[in-house]
Structure 1
Amino acid sequence: MKENKDRVIIASDVNERDGIGVEIYRNDELIVEIFRDDTEKKRTIRVFKENISLELMEECIQTFKKEIPWEFIDYEEEN
C-alpha cells in the first residue's frame, strides 16, 4: 500500500510571531504556508516552491479558510 505524502499541518507560533496557520505538503515537500498573525493583524502566504498552479494555490487558501478561524485574537480585549 502506497503512503499518501500530501498533508496539511496546522501549526501555531508564539515566538517571533504570534498566530496560527497551515503548512501544505505535496509529495512530502513543504510548498506553501499560510499564516494568521494576531500581533500584526494580517494574513500572509509563503511559497516554498518556484511554480505553483493557480488551482493548487486556491486549494491551499480554501484549506486555510476551512481550518483556521478568520478573526484575529485581540489581546488588548482579553486584559
Structure 2
Amino acid sequence: MSEVRYALITGCGEGGIGHALAVQFQEEGFTTFTTLLPHEGRKHLTDRGIHAFDANVTSDKDTEALLEKIQTITNGRLDVLVNNAYV
C-alpha cells in the first residue's frame, strides 16, 4: 500500500495554471487542497474530488484558518506547496 501524499496549491481559479496543477496532482494520486477567493466558483475542482478552501493568502486570519484545517486533515504533513496565488 502506498503512502498518501498531500499537495496544497493556492490560486486555483478555473482555467488558470493553479487549476491545471491541481488536476495534475490529483491525477498523480495526491490528496489535493486548493485555495480560491470566496467569490470564485469551485465546481471545476470539487467535481474532481479536489478539496477547495476559501482563503485570501494575503490575510493572516485566512491563512491561519487554512493551516489549521489542513493540519487536521493531514496530521500536520504536507508534501507539496505551490504558492500560485498573486496579489
Fold shared, TM-score > 0.5 on shorter chain: no
More helix by share: 2
Larger RCO (alpha carbons 8 Å, 6+ apart): 2
More strand by share: 1
Larger radius of gyration: 1
TM-score, normalising length: structure 1 = 0.33
